Amino acid sequence: MTTANAAQLDPEHIAVVEPVKGSDSPVHLMYVEMIDGVYAPIGLRKPAGNGPFPIVLFAAGNGGGGMAVIRDYTQNRSWTQEEFLRAGYAVAWLRYRAEVDYAYDKIGPLVEDIRQRRQLLNRGPLEYEDVISIVKYLKTLAFIDGARIGYVGMSHGGEMAFKMAGEYQGIRAYVANEPAAHEFLRLRPDTTAHVDPKTGLLNVEKMLMREPEKVRPRITEDVALARIAPIKTPIFVQGRDRDELQGIFRVCYDLLHETGKVTRWATYDHDEHGFIYPARNAQGVYAPDAIQKQVVADSIAFFREHMG
């Protein structure tokens, strides 16, 4: 980097602008400070104009991967974001720290204190708390309408929606797409999951929980209901008909519905886990199928209803 280029960057608020293939909306590659002072990358884009714009944040699965993942998803898995941009929303891909296996279920709420005039935490932050830090930062930007922030989370990112909604009121609406929320529900797996002898961690890659009737007796219902009780934010739960965890997705919705939360359920018959985020095909173009178009249209309609 030349001295002239370096002079244009604020070291505390670094943002590098890159064009996005086939789009008029470039991406602002940014590093956002988390509660503990480390930084997480995001890729922020907005419609033409000065705003302030409502914004929808996008998360896919587990964390890790850093800025390389942000750049790859922005360039190659952003058909969904383009639809939101056309609808008038700013958008951002998020990365966050890797999931810590069952930490949410074991170590309790994050507590911040001061010791010797410096920050003291009772534990390290978790991945969903990184998203909360990102939201709080975005609320400070002049071109973002801080009262209208939405979140789309797929798979583990969908479980994170439930964790955030139970603890933080700064997000206006959530889409939980294929939410792998076995930890949030404190699910007791059957023999389709096993502890990996090499790591001592539970391996759920082959877990089969297709039927709600199988899942419901296996959750720790009093714990799940206590976690759902504080939720005030609308959540659109989206299933996938043939997914191995479809029963978990449906039970998430059932608990919300039974406890009077603002919620919606829809399920889609698609082959691909993560179908809400179509990728470029072998020819380098987006070719979403009818179901992918439908799930994105349904999601935009949900945000319009609850965010305007």
Q: In the 8-state DSSP scheme, what is residue 131? A: H
For the stretch 36-55, what's the b/e string if a residue is b when 16 or more beta carbons lie within 10 angstroms of its beta carbon? eeebbbbbbbbbeeeebbbb
DSSP 90-128: EEEEE--PPPPTTHHHHS----EEEETTEEEESS---HH
Residue ranges of domains in the chain: 16-307
Query: Measured between alpha carbons, how far is 64 from 174 in angstroms, rounded to an integer?
Result: 22
Cβ-contact 185, 224 below 8 angstroms: yes
* Surface-to-core class of residue 199, CB atoms within 10 Å of its CB (0-12 exposed, 13-18 middle, 19+ buried): exposed
Query: Measured between alpha carbons, how far is 117 from 254 in angstroms, rounded to an integer?
Result: 46
Distances (CA, A) of 6 to 3, 13, 26, 39, 63: 5, 12, 20, 19, 29
Query: What is the pLDDT, as a whole number, of residue 203?
Result: 83
Closest to 148 in 3D by CA, of 279, 291, 308: 308
Cβ-contact 29, 18 below 8 angstroms: yes
Residue 18 forms beta bridges with which residues?
27
Cβ-contact 230, 109 below 8 angstroms: no
ω into residue 125 within 30 of 0, thus cis? no
Q: Which amino acid makes up residue 137?
A: Y
Tokens, residue 66: 């850093």
Within the chain, which residues score under 70 in pLDDT?
1-7
- How distant is the alpha carbon of residue 5 from its chain centre? 33
DSSP 175-243: EEES---TTTTT----TTSEE-TTT--EE-TT-----HHHHGGGS-HHHHHHHHTT--S-EEEEEETT-
Tokens, residue 292: 């992918």
| Look-up of token digits 């942000």 | 70
- Torsion angles phi and psi, residue 268, rounded to 5: -130, 140
State the CATH class of domain 16-307: alpha beta
Query: What is the pLDDT, as a whole number, of residue 219?
Result: 97
